[in-house]
Amino acid sequence: METITYKRVYVWELPVRIFHWINAIAITVLAVTGFIMADPPAILSNAEASDSYWFGTVRFIHFMTAYIFFFNLILRVYWSFVGNRFASWKAFFPFSKKSWRNFLHVLKVDILLGHEKHPEITDLSVGHNSVAGLSYFILFLLALVQVFTGFGLYSAMSDWWLPDLFEWVVPLFGGDFIVRTIHHISTWLFILFVLIHVYLVFYHDWLEGRGEVSSIFGGYKFVVGQRVKHKKTEEEKKDTEDAK
Amino acid sequence: MITKDKTKQSTYYESIIKQGYSRRDFMKFVTYISAYLGLENSMVGQVAKALETSYRVPVIWEHFQECTCCSESFIRSDHPIVADIILDKISLDYTLTLMAASGHQAEAAKKATMDNYKGEYILCVEGSVPMGDDGNYCCIGGRSAKDILLEAAEGAKAIICWGSCACNGCVQAAYPNPTEATPIHKIIKNKPIVRVPGCPPIGEVMAGVIVHLVAFGRLPELDRIGRPKAFYSKRVHDTCYRRPYYDAGLFVESFDDENAKKGYCLYKVGCKGPMTYNACGAMKWNNGVSFPIQSGHGCFGCSEENFWDNGPIYERLTGLHGFGIESSADTIGKVAAGAVAGGLAAHAIAANISKKKELKESISRGKRNEKALDS
């Protein structure tokens, strides 16, 4: 049986990994505090209102995390122009012929669980596969929806120019009701995304064994050796010449 | 401004005095209405001066699809001068509910006003206009509301939309809106429009808007959707006296519980105060006696667009149409999450079956390597 050699490839740069985890934590915190704000649990207390502020604190955490989520998103957009090819904005759209082929491959093999008749080693993508890339772009749009509706709802409470930039959102839709509804529904779409995203990461890790899960911690993935162009060292060059 | 010879009538001040009010009453009225308008103290003199010197602005007040609660609210305004002078005695050339004339006489009076004061009269509209079936769902004097509105709006200087009907369509525009009830700003596009939503709006707010128009000859400062900023820039929530209970997380769970007795926040029993822009918390109703929340009932957002369709009144749900009656976003979200989780589990099982060969290979390779380990 042939041996497969893997090479360790640096895929996710540190800013990408930091973005990912801040984003993940922020989304979790925002969703949890958001649901608490939408339907606060019954906490019966004999304390005077003047002595407690827990609901105000929950809202404060939500708004604070929203800022973190927003700035984190902006930094990631910046990095998509200066980062490596896997962080590039181009990685999110199946525009090129190559990535379109990959898109169809992923649909066929990973989503519909079919089999490629003539598998190629380039079928396995190193960074995001094309379907995942597009799904992250959709998530990005969803994040924008949350930013616009969220800051739109928040702007009435704020004097700072940044949230006030979104003052027009509520009038555009007619009122807080509908904006709140959009904000609320989008949260559910985030939850659905997270479910699918986490599942597929484990799926790829289990079936391909290339360190899919650990890559978002350490940044490295394992790639079939043949795909890595080998720059020969001086010593190896000598060896091949000797063999001749 | 309307000149004297054109109207042959007295100024607002003269009419007020003629009605038997003292100058002291007049100054009280001016001071309080200025305060409501959010004007600074030094402006009180300006308002008084304006009312002393300006002549009546003719007003045509149309009633379409509505319940007249706006008029009722207006005539119950805090200060008697509002009802007596501004509305009842001087300004209204035409209003179905309050005018003495009727039939052809009334219509003729309106026609005269529209002709004599073209481009100068104020058109107040109470109620929405049904656009369905060529406007036949609401007819007055044999003409459709749509027809009447278009004619009256033609020569108006500005239009004031009283109440949620004229501003947003209110209950008759609620889903499925069989008559195609339509708010005024969606029909008339070429006139300045003030929207004064609420079901009804607070009487003092209505008086304030009228006095501003009369005293300064121009519209009050409006927000992006045409509401006077002085009254609609804050949410009921932000001026609610129960707000500390909200921040402390102390909520009424049901209307008959201990918390309701203690006067905790009504957020969880459906109060829409946090999403409703109105002055109820600050100005209150019926001469400042109370407002819904103070009476133990949550705000249901009567001054907001589509408030009838935005979920149940007594629950904090994010309602969605097209998914069954009163289904909430959360219910749908939970079902969707469940379906996705189920789908993923099925996919996981199918993947392990479909990729059996590859998996077997890689697992056995891994095991072989384990056994072959040196140390």
Q: Are residues B208 and B354 located together in one domain of the fold?
A: no
Taking only the tens place, the pLDDT of each residue in A51-61 is: 888 889 999 99
Within 8 A of A164 by CB-CB distance, chain B residues are none
Show the domains of chain A with their CATH numbers: 6-41+54-243 (1.20.950.20)
Sites in chain A below the pLDDT cut of 50: none
Does residue B302 lie in a domain region? no
Within 8 A of A44 by CB-CB distance, chain B residues are 259
Domain containing B367 equals 328-371
Q: Are residues B137 and B21 located together in one domain of the fold?
A: yes
| pLDDT, position A98 | 81
| Cβ distance of A199 and B344 shorter than 8 Å | yes
| Cβ distance of B274 and A176 shorter than 8 Å | yes
Other CB atoms within a 10 A radius of the CB of residue A23 amount to 17
Phi and psi of B277, rounded to 5°? Answer: -95, 110
Taking only the tens place, the pLDDT of each residue in A119-177 is: 777 777 888 888 888 999 999 999 999 999 999 999 888 888 998 898 888 888 888 88
Q: Are residues B196 and B335 located together in one domain of the fold?
A: no
Give exposure, B310-319, as e/b (b: 16+ Cβ within 10 Å): bbebbebbbb
Q: Are residues B18 and B138 located together in one domain of the fold?
A: yes
Q: Are residues B227 and B332 located together in one domain of the fold?
A: no
| pLDDT, position B121 | 87
Does residue B284 lie in a domain region? no
Give mean pLDDT in consecutive 10-residue pieces for chain B, a chain of 375 residues.
52 82 88 84 88 82 89 77 61 71 82 88 91 88 89 91 92 90 92 92 86 83 89 90 90 89 90 91 86 91 86 74 62 87 89 86 86 81
CA pair distance B372, B151, nearest whole angstrom: 95
Does residue B253 lie in a domain region? no
| pLDDT, position B322 | 55
Q: A112 touching B, CB under 8 A?
A: no
Within 8 A of B224 by CB-CB distance, chain A residues are 167-168, 171
- Are the CB atoms for B318 and B331 separated by under 8 Å? no
Does residue B182 lie in a domain region? yes
| pLDDT, position B40 | 86
For position B214, which CATH number holds?
3.40.50.700
What is the residue type of B330? Answer: D
| pLDDT, position B5 | 47
Does residue B299 lie in a domain region? no
CA pair distance B250, B247, nearest whole angstrom: 8
| pLDDT, position B89 | 52
Which among A58, A174, A209 has CB closest to B305? Answer: A174
**For chain B, what is the domain count?**
2
What's the gap between Cα A192 and its chain centre?
13
Tell me the count of A-B CB pairs closer than 8 A. Answer: 130
Does residue B315 lie in a domain region? no
| pLDDT, position A145 | 94
Q: Which residue of A has its CA nearest to B350?
A: A113
Contact residues, A window 206-225, toward B, CB-based 8 Å cutoff? 207, 209
CA pair distance B230, B207, nearest whole angstrom: 13
Does residue B289 lie in a domain region? no
Nearest Cα of chain B lies from the Cα of A156 at a distance, in angstroms, of 8
Does residue B356 lie in a domain region? yes
Angle at B63 between CA B61 and CA B65, to 5 degrees: 155
User: Which residue, of B215, B231, B247, is where some domain finishes?
Assistant: B231
Contact residues, B window 160-189, toward A, CB-based 8 Å cutoff? 168
User: Which residue, of B198, B231, B264, is where some domain finishes?
Assistant: B231
